[in-house]
Structure 1
Amino acid sequence: VCFGQELILPERINKAVGENVVITPIRIPDPPHQYIRWSFNSLNNTILSGSPGGITILPPYTNRVHLDTSTLALELRTLTDSDTGQYTLEVQTPAKPFTDVTSLYVFGVADGNGDSLSAGAIAGIVIGVLLGLAGISGLSFYFMKAKVMPRTKSSGSKQNEVTHDEQQQDPQYVNMNEVTMRTTCTQMGQTTRPDD
């Protein structure tokens, strides 16, 4: 806490249900402080008030709050959803009054140590893990299938391997001209070879 001629509270505080919070001012007016008051959601809903030597804590905060009179920090214990809201600190000094506001947001259900996750967060994690496993399974299946099935050679023409040398002919096509010519001659009534 710094001292000066202004009052500055933290902008926003987030806590879980069941936790404790200490709202500590960032900067407070120079002492002496003649009057201190913390209120919740409106100036009519006073949590505590009085001079540093005689602070009065009002119900329902009687057993839930504590004020550090040197730093003006307000401690709220065992937070509930209904503690969410704006907290106002008013400080009266001999020179002038100071006022500032902060917001407290109390979320979720805590298990006492503040490490719990919401149901939505848990559902998101589960869905993410399941999608990840499905993706891994799909890739594994694809690669295993590709490894098991050997690649077959095409019996078609070699489009990528053009041969310019007649000595390197594909054995399946060596006699193709002869077969074609023989069939043609047979159909015409001749059984001779075309080269005869």
Structure 2
Amino acid sequence: MSTTMVPTTTTKKTVTWATTTVHEFELGHNPCSVPSTGGPGLGLMGKPISTHTTSVADRLGSPRSHEELYLAPMKRIERLRDLGFSIDEIAVFCIETNQARTERHESEQEYIQQMRQQQYEAQLMRQHMMQLEVQRQRQLYLQMHYQLQYQSQLPMRPRASSSSSSSSRDIVEPKVASRRDIHVIDNKRRRLSVEAMLN
């Protein structure tokens, strides 16, 4: 019997874009843009000055490097000066940018500390749960051990009960005898008292 293998072809899923829309903005003072270095923040501002749609083939190319997109602090100050901002205003922008950078760094450190605290608490909780599980397993083991001991001692219990019953009889009989002696003594006293009254 001959078997023929049918080749399976897998089709790779792809996504293609026909057009892309480009929005161009002016560069200016933007408090939301906080640089990692000193100097004022410079970013997109206002509404787009131009919008055009082109095909994707025209926009394909290698992206620009970080050095080409990066503006040094002095270049940003010069750009703001060209836009009409004074030195005092730029100084205020620098102070606000430094404050925002410091607050972001503090928020990041607080978040890291909070995550570490949560991880530490989760670790403590796991250790506590493991300890509880170990205690539970130990209690189950002791309970099974005691049950086995109890079952192994079950055949010896009738002898223990007979000995206990005989001992209880031994204990009860002296008590009964002592009560009879007291009753006899009381009868003798009554007879003596009656004889004394008659005489």
Normalising by structure 1, we get a TM-score of 0.30
When Rg is computed on C-alpha atoms for both structures, the one with the higher figure is: 2
Normalising by structure 2, we get a TM-score of 0.30
Larger strand share, 1 or 2: 1
Larger helix share, 1 or 2: 2
